[in-house]
Amino acid sequence: MTSSYWQELMCRLDTKVEQMVEQIGDKCPHFAGKDGKFDDIGSDWWTTGFWPGLLWIMHDMTRKDLYKEAAWYWDGTLEEWFIKPTVEMHHDVGFQFLPTGVIKHTITGDEDALRRGIEAANFLAASYNPVGKFIRAWNEDKYGWVIIDCMLNISLLFWASKVSGDPRYKHIAISHAETTMQYGIREDGSTKHILSFDAETGAYIENFGGQGYSAESSWSRGTAWGLYSFINTYRHSGDERFLNTAKRIAHYFISALPEDQVPYWDFRLADDERMFKDTLRHLSPLQVC
């Protein structure tokens, strides 16, 4: 990547994100509708860390206070949900606090951000079922449900072990990854979305389709998440079983791509069902500086 290309790319990103800061303001965005305007959802939603995470990355790359100021309060806002009795917190505290408290502490050294990140890691670790050796995704009647998404959330536990010196977080993350590897990854490298276990005995029961087309189909985004997370687990553990699992997933992903290399939302769809890609290919051009 040439220096001029990188400068132009950063200039375009800077222009775009500054416009987004002005447009979004103090909203809690999930996505932009057909009119191009962002929505405003509850701050307990699983994607609420993504926007502030983008702001922290832009601050880290540009050093602009604009992005730092817009991102600063988010980990405090999310922390409030830990003490609200009406909300159901879940495994996506990783998605919420990795891009907020964790990155904030990493960049600035802020002690409150460190405390909040550890608080979120404690919550995730408390969802671990030691009999079944898994982190449950949700509560109430789903105490035994595990989903591929959580493999990304365990990065929070690896971080907590590193900053605290306590290996228990890492042990829980690795144990969960082993269970997902055993029951959630098929021999051909495709991934299952939802796994169901008996919460009392830990026995594996069945898997559900979830976001995929069916129980035995292959949700493409879940496949990508499995690929990244098993590489990440290998990076933190050094255990080559996880690296080999990631390779198997990668081989499957590449072999399942259509001719244009853009995956459908599920890799196992009949030809007449391939209406939707799992990405937006045509974006409006960004203003050039």
The catalytic residue positions are: 92, 149
Q: Is 52 in contact with 100 (CB distance < 8 Å)? A: yes
Q: How far is CA 120 from CA 90, 91, 114, 116, 123, in A?
A: 10, 9, 10, 6, 5
Q: What are phi and psi of 168, to 5 degrees?
A: -65, -35
Closest CA to 207 of 185, 175, 230: 185
Torsional sign, CA 232, 233, 236, 238: negative
Structure tokens of 214?
């069916």
| Angstrom distances, CA of residue 231 to CA of 117, 140, 225 | 22, 31, 10
